Structure 1
């Protein structure tokens, strides 16, 4: 008894899956070109897995596989960024795409394929985490700087403008807020990152401490205290210390820590890089509320234009944060917008009150 011919709706769905599997495999291969070593091997293995899924849909479609539709917009965006940038943004988008696979709810996909997609999401999450860690210091400063510039200067401009002062006063107040805020952010980030790096350096093992091992009192064996201070149990520390003393006596040298202090901590980043990012991004954000006044707009028109421009920028930065965190870009964008507009609205209302009081 032969299987019934697939229905048109099934054929359309299978073709869409086939197109997406091919495109996703291409995304992983494009990313692999820009990677080396282990990351490259992992990405190529993911591409091979997508190829197995492609073979499944080809078998189901049979002669109907000749006409494969265009891939989804989501997958096309992934492919575009993978070819041109190959950055953590693509991995973050791929992580979200893998986590939203429809295979668990589709009877035509095998349980193994659904399990593959779930595991692929975790694999991509791990790869994206490496990129997020490398970005953490400067990117944090950049995002926070841009948002602080947008919100604080919009609030400042609207608050001052609502008091009824001249347009020129509002403009110069906004420019002063831009410079003061950018310099303050840069200085704060520099001190913060430098202090954190100094704390990390203070916790790094002394690279020359191993030279004292050969002269330690074998009976007292204070080397065990080093290992206990690093979290080992007393018994494990004593055993490790005894092994080190024995190995040193046999002519081997045991290092107690890294050969050199860890100077570049990926999760912290460069103090100068963080300061520069904070200054540049705060300034780029803070200039947006001032643009309407720079081009000569006045009154409520200037206020509404500033609010619209800042709102668009808040949606953009919120969406970027959502993409990188693997969360919903739309929700993060709306959250940024609500927070920014909320702060600006409060300041604007206070400006109206102060303006009315002085009148």
Structure 2
């Protein structure tokens, strides 16, 4: 860097950096207000780091630091979301914002600032991981349900419509597809999650097994066999078993067993929650292609309207998945759109072929 006066382009860029640093610090403070313990301390430390970056740009800008411009739309959305929700959704947005930092390619940002931003992304990723784990079961069912409803019923409606059948037949077919698909998704998701929980229960250590520890023969120490069965070497298993027996606390052991079981079940989610989410979201997706026919549209007009409505919904669901996964919302949205329209186009062409044959 030199002592020359900054150019107008540099001033605009630095002012944008300053605004974003202040906004991101506010997001972390708002998130910290909804947390306690270690998570709160981590978020406040992130806010302090952003304040250091803010000071760097203030020093460079000097008198130009006053009246900074509005922040980018992405960053501007974070603060109110943090205040209102304080959830994994906000952490995912913050993670993406940190990962897109331009400091590594900007000569006016210090190497320490660029390194900070990269590490901040990993810190936020770690904070968001717990919330993503809690969401994994029900959220997976919701996203899959909505997308299956959108794509399968659009494909069904377009195929039947292209075959030349009347709007009443298309409407009835679409509603039947909605109900059949929603019931199938809900039942399938219930069986899937329930079976997974039962398999975990069969593999999870007995939460009452610790009550036998005080009565074990320390010299024979059959507890070591448990750890050997779980993959430890004989020497390590014996040493670990002896340490367990020496420090055995029945209250703490019971708490650890209960916590381990709860964490496993929390990661999978509730079978009923997954089933109801699948049913509801499949139905909410599947109703969209039927809406034009419910409103009295016919022929090509109804087909185009259904395709447009479903396309908008696919873009939205794809963007949400992108945000929550820390990936590009635009890429995920376009991927969802391409998959949905590809399936619908295949059935539409098939319907045209059948319609021509019947005619």
TM-score by length of 1: 0.94
Aligned residues of 2:210 and 2:250 also touching (Cα < 8 A) = no
Cα deviation code 1:327-349 (max 9, x no counterpart): 11111111101100111111111
Q: Pick which of 213-222 and 94-103 moved more.
A: 213-222
Aligned ranges 1:94-133 → 2 under 5 Å = 94-133=94-133
- Runs of 4+ deviating beyond 6 Å: 251-254
- Give the aligned partner of residue 270 of structure 2: 270
Residues 135, 157 of structure 1: alpha-carbon distance in 2 compared, 3 angstrom cutoff? same
- Give the aligned partner of residue 88 of structure 2: 88
Secondary structure of the corresponding residue to residue 221 of structure 2? coil
Aligned-partner Cα distance in 2 for 1:210–1:321? 42
Residues 154, 252 of structure 1: alpha-carbon distance in 2 compared, 3 angstrom cutoff? closer
Secondary structure of the corresponding residue to residue 266 of structure 1? helix
Aligned ranges 1:199-348 → 2 under 5 Å = 199-245=199-245, 255=253, 258-260=256-258, 262-263=261-262, 265-348=265-348
Residues 252, 318 of structure 1: alpha-carbon distance in 2 compared, 3 angstrom cutoff? closer
Aligned residues of 1:95 and 1:121 also touching (Cα < 8 A) = yes
Aligned-partner Cα distance in 1 for 2:193–2:38? 30
Aligned-partner Cα distance in 2 for 1:295–1:347? 23
Query: Is residue 156 of structure 1 aligned with residue 156 of structure 2?
Result: yes
Aligned residues of 1:136 and 1:266 also touching (Cα < 8 A) = no
Aligned-partner Cα distance in 2 for 1:97–1:37? 25
> How far is the alpha carbon of 1:351 from its aligned partner?
1.3
Gaps of 5+ in 2: none
Cα deviation code 1:106-139 (max 9, x no counterpart): 1111111111000001011111111111111111
Residues 161, 262 of structure 1: alpha-carbon distance in 2 compared, 3 angstrom cutoff? same
Gaps of 5+ in 1: none
> How far is the alpha carbon of 1:321 from its aligned partner?
0.6
- Give the aligned partner of residue 17 of structure 1: 17
Give RMSD over aligned pairs. 2.0
- Give the aligned partner of residue 144 of structure 1: 144
Aligned-partner Cα distance in 1 for 2:104–2:116? 10
Aligned residues of 2:78 and 2:90 also touching (Cα < 8 A) = yes
Aligned residues of 2:211 and 2:250 also touching (Cα < 8 A) = no
Cα deviation code 1:293-339 (max 9, x no counterpart): 00000001000000000011001101111111111111111110110
- Give the aligned partner of residue 352 of structure 1: 352
- Give the aligned partner of residue 171 of structure 2: 171
The size of the alignment, in residue pairs, is 356
> How far is the alpha carbon of 1:236 from its aligned partner?
0.5
